[in-house]
Structure 1
Amino acid sequence: MSSLYARGQTAAEIADSVLEALRSGALQPGDTLPAVRALAQQLAVNPNTVAAAYARLRDAGRVVTDGRRGTRVVEAPARMPQAYAVPEGLRDLASGNVDAALLPQLRGGAAAWAALAASVRYEVPADLPALQAEAQHWLRAQRLPCEEIGVFSGTLDAVERALRAHAHPGDRVAVEDPCWPPLVALLHSLRLKPVPLPVDAQGLCVPGAGVLRGCAALVLTPRAHNPTGAAISPARWKALGRQLRALPHLLVVFDDHWGPLSAAPLAPAASLPALWLHVVSVSKFLGPDLRVAVATGTPALLQALRAQQALGPRWVSRILQGLAAGLWRQMREGRAFAQAGGAYAARRQALVRALAAEHVAVAPGEGLHVWLPVADEAAVVQSLAARGWAVQAGSPLRLASSPAVRVSLGACAVTDMPRLAADLAQALRTPGRAVF
């Protein structure tokens, strides 16, 4: 950028001129701004004035300063990865959908829910007491404090509000690798930098000294990690906790997406960090279109999230909350959580055993997915498609980790596993062919 695009004698005037250049297209995402002293000399102003202008632009999320790379216009936000379109005729093991047969069926008829709708008024509490009661019952069983509970429109809504309350553009946020692609897209949209941390059979690996110290937040999956299925072991959490105790200002977000379907203990509940948020969405056990998530955490953080919500949507539909509360209670009283979780566990165990018979090892875990390291993702996906299976290439879920494919089990039965394992083993053994 030259002084053609930056003018003015005050910090506000210089910052406004840069914003004008951005709006006109004269400056593009990724362009480098002049060094502070160089621009100050061009404009005949004090370097502190230019530094203040750049600080305004950083606070607005329009530029980032990155050491030797200097000050740059922020990159264009990452787009949400497009949903994988499963070719016609293939069994869908790619999309990650739950098994609709394991979701609860609505009871009470339309009249009962019409009565709920009629009872809702502006003065009714934003968070429906019936849903709070169900959430508290479950949270206490997980040994989590639940004095403060908030209801949000899904996991990403709660996580976004927490990051907006705590982090600033340019900050670093540690995430699992592999991880859930919408989370990475969210970080990019907030101008936050993902810092990938590997995952093994015991969950998130303890990072090297100083890695978390340079981060504003850490987002992790405490159990049924998507896509590996790993849960954080008590020993791993104890080791990680030693680092977190020295970082009281690091926000730790627990995305407990498998929630009531999980059979693994919630290891972090034994020793929570100073600043934390636990989020459980109802998507996996009540259905993905019921956009309701319940969050608990550090009281001041929950209050900040509620304050943000009050300035926007104000609340999550009480009708949706009532549906979630009724279905949650129905599943709890009918012991359907154990049945649904057990059904998914049986499928995963059957596939793991069948793969072991084919000399393919899978790390222990739970949840909807199996993660298989491969040499060539495209070759394995194509080989399985030729055998009638659609699986997800691992690249959208990876940041720095090695190639793999994700196999989702929502559309499978236990009886499918021997054939699926044989086809997977054959695909893993089939080398890719170079095409010139």
Structure 2
Amino acid sequence: MRKGGDVIIDIEGRSAAEIADSLRTLIERGALRPGDALPPVRTLAEHLGVNRNTAVSAYRQLMNAGVVITLGRGGTRVAGASTVAQEGFAADTALRDIGTGNPDPSRIPDPSLALASIARRPVLYGEPVIDPELARSAHDWMSADLPAETPMRITVTSGAADAVERLLAQALTRDDAVALEDPCFLTSIHTVRVAGYRPVPVPIDDEGMTVAGLRAALEQGVRAVICTPRAQNPTGASLTERRAAELREVLREHPYVLVIEDDHYSLLSQLPYHSLIGPEHRRWALVRSVSKFLGPDMCLAVTASDPETAERLAMRLTPGTTWVSHLLQRLVHALATDPEIVAGIRAAGAHYAARNAAFAGLLTAEGVPTRSGDGLNVWVPLGAPARAVSEQLMRRGWLARPGDEFALDGTEASDHLRLTVHDLDDADLQKLATDLGAAVRTVLEQSRALGGAWTSEMR
């Protein structure tokens, strides 16, 4: 029954798993609906006669699976149908969408000519799962950035998200801890949450994953670390040579923790690749997809990993999609080895960097100091609550993406926006910078009028 706006229900169980299953059943049967408040941890523990940590673990399992959300002082509530934002265009909006995270379609290579060159004999069951030409070029591509003489094997999956999901699944069990960058790539948040792993945030600064943050995560017993060495999404940060060396030193004491590097920007990046995978690390994987430069629909990623991880990853492929289409593999190889297309990819990367730098300069001139990192987006520090600023931008015709969506802990209001602006012309760049500067000033003026605090209404 319901009383006083709080849900009082017959939750059962003595262990965390039993309590979580009981709550999940109530949610699935409609006894609890999206937005309903769950009992406080202390109340639930007393009601069931269990330790408080047991109740905490039950809620954490449901939160990691995306079934419930924690709102700080707002308590724990049943999540809606979709609790993780997704990349791409917003549906049904008349506003100018500047939060898509998409590459410029005009800078994605035309595959039509390459398609005509890849038609060969059909591939049958039992043949090698990796096309030989792609295997050779992928090996050269990946080994060039790994420590010399590092034993490695190549695996091909249906994109980076597929690779990361399968890599985690072959190494972890439910409720295992995974170190994630904070703020974090949306797909990584979704992958970890749906699989029921426990995300452990590692802060990001201008040089990438912080040393203190990684050390703290390892002390909490993480069994895997997911790191973006270049063009971290959403911040645009990239590992420096110094920071990478410091992180490798921390990981030397944890050689069997699975380190996954998602180098999603690879050929587009304007910065050198620095790895936190040391020559003596035993469990590792470097993942490079082609979606940012050959198009999001080109669902293919190449993974280089230690032989044991590669063997386990191959086993994870066996029950489902046993191989990526050889037609797609041949197409990727044809495009990625065409000198003219590679030059176009390099030019696209330079274009993204130049447009983002130009916008950062315009914002700085408007009183919103901003640095452009690497990648498709610009991470804008506002000095004001992002959701309030994004609401002001909506009134001016822009649909922005607040940093709250990328945070692992949603209890604190973000003061950043992640904007995709590389496809705006000079006039629109200036207009957006002017409107954003005005929006920030409006929000700060409202804050001062309310005593200088970020109120719940502003969040």
Q: Scaled by the length of structure 2, what TM-score is found?
A: 0.77
**Is residue 123 of structure 1 aligned with residue 126 of structure 2?**
yes
**Is residue 372 of structure 1 aligned with residue 380 of structure 2?**
yes
Distance change (3 Å), C-alpha of 1:254 and 1:22: same
Identity %: 33
Work out which of the residue numbers 173, 180, 194 in structure 1 matches 2:185. 180
Deviation at 1:419, TM superposition (A): 2.8
2:267 aligns with: 260
1:139 aligns with: 142
1:246 aligns with: 253
**Is residue 288 of structure 1 aligned with residue 277 of structure 2?**
no
1:166 aligns with: 171
CA distance in 1, matches of 2:283, 2:52: 27
2:62 aligns with: 75
Distance change (3 Å), C-alpha of 1:347 and 1:75: same
1:49 aligns with: none
Deviation at 1:321, TM superposition (A): 1.4
CA distance in 2, matches of 1:224, 1:156: 16
Q: What is the DSSP-based 3-state SS (H/G/I as helix, E as strand, rest coil) of the residue aligned with 1:119?
A: coil
22-31 or 291-300: which moved more?
22-31
What do the CA deviations read for 1:251-297 (whole angstroms, capped 9, x no partner)? 11111110111121111168353321111111100000111111012
Work out which of the residue numbers 386, 389, 402 in structure 1 matches 2:398. 389
CA distance in 2, matches of 1:198, 1:20: 32
Distance change (3 Å), C-alpha of 1:389 and 1:119: same
24-33 or 298-307: which moved more?
24-33
2:244 aligns with: 237
Amino acid at match of 1:205: T
What do the CA deviations read for 1:48-73 (whole angstroms, capped 9, x no partner)? xxxxxxxxxxxxxxxxx994647637
What do the CA deviations read for 1:229-260 (whole angstroms, capped 9, x no partner)? 11011111122222100111211111111011
Distance change (3 Å), C-alpha of 1:360 and 1:265: same
Q: What is the DSSP-based 3-state SS (H/G/I as helix, E as strand, rest coil) of the residue aligned with 2:58?
A: strand
CA distance in 2, matches of 1:357, 1:282: 35
1:45 aligns with: none
Task: Check the 8 A contact 1:93/1:410 in 2, yes or no.
Answer: no
Q: What is the DSSP-based 3-state SS (H/G/I as helix, E as strand, rest coil) of the residue aligned with 1:81?
A: coil
Distance change (3 Å), C-alpha of 1:18 and 1:372: closer
Amino acid at match of 1:122: Y
Work out which of the residue numbers 282, 302, 305 in structure 2 matches 1:274. 282
Larger Rg: 1
Task: Check the 8 A contact 2:269/2:375 in 1, yes or no.
Answer: yes
Task: Check the 8 A contact 2:165/2:191 in 1, yes or no.
Answer: yes
Task: Check the 8 A contact 1:142/1:269 in 2, yes or no.
Answer: no
> Unpaired segments of 5 or more residues in structure 2?
1-10, 33-37, 67-81, 451-456
CA distance in 1, matches of 2:367, 2:21: 61
Deviation at 1:86, TM superposition (A): 5.4
CA distance in 1, matches of 2:381, 2:322: 44
2:419 aligns with: 407
Structural mapping, 1:186-201, within 5 Å: 186-201=191-206
299-308 or 415-424: which moved more?
415-424
Q: What is the DSSP-based 3-state SS (H/G/I as helix, E as strand, rest coil) of the residue aligned with 1:174?
A: strand
Amino acid at match of 2:158: S
Q: What is the DSSP-based 3-state SS (H/G/I as helix, E as strand, rest coil) of the residue aligned with 1:108?
A: helix
Q: What is the DSSP-based 3-state SS (H/G/I as helix, E as strand, rest coil) of the residue aligned with 1:176?
A: strand
Amino acid at match of 2:267: P
CA distance in 1, matches of 2:376, 2:94: 22
CA distance in 2, matches of 1:234, 1:15: 43
Distance change (3 Å), C-alpha of 1:235 and 1:82: closer
**Is residue 351 of structure 1 aligned with residue 338 of structure 2?**
no
> Unpaired segments of 5 or more residues in structure 1?
8-13, 40-64
Deviation at 1:129, TM superposition (A): 1.8
Deviation at 1:318, TM superposition (A): 1.3
417-426 or 321-330: which moved more?
417-426
Work out which of the residue numbers 206, 220, 224 in structure 2 matches 1:217. 224
**Is residue 421 of structure 1 aligned with residue 430 of structure 2?**
no
Distance change (3 Å), C-alpha of 1:324 and 1:161: same
21-30 or 81-90: which moved more?
21-30
Q: What is the DSSP-based 3-state SS (H/G/I as helix, E as strand, rest coil) of the residue aligned with 2:275?
A: helix
2:105 aligns with: 100
CA distance in 1, matches of 2:321, 2:165: 14
CA distance in 2, matches of 1:134, 1:414: 39
RMSD between superposed Cα atoms in Å: 3.6
Task: Check the 8 A contact 2:258/2:284 in 1, yes or no.
Answer: yes
Task: Check the 8 A contact 1:136/1:146 in 2, yes or no.
Answer: no
Amino acid at match of 2:130: D
Deviation at 1:23, TM superposition (A): 8.8
**Is residue 360 of structure 1 aligned with residue 368 of structure 2?**
yes
CA distance in 2, matches of 1:26, 1:340: 47
Task: Check the 8 A contact 1:204/1:232 in 2, yes or no.
Answer: yes
Task: Check the 8 A contact 2:129/2:323 in 1, yes or no.
Answer: yes
Q: Scaled by the length of structure 1, what TM-score is found?
A: 0.80
CA distance in 1, matches of 2:135, 2:364: 43
1:10 aligns with: none
Task: Check the 8 A contact 1:138/1:260 in 2, yes or no.
Answer: no
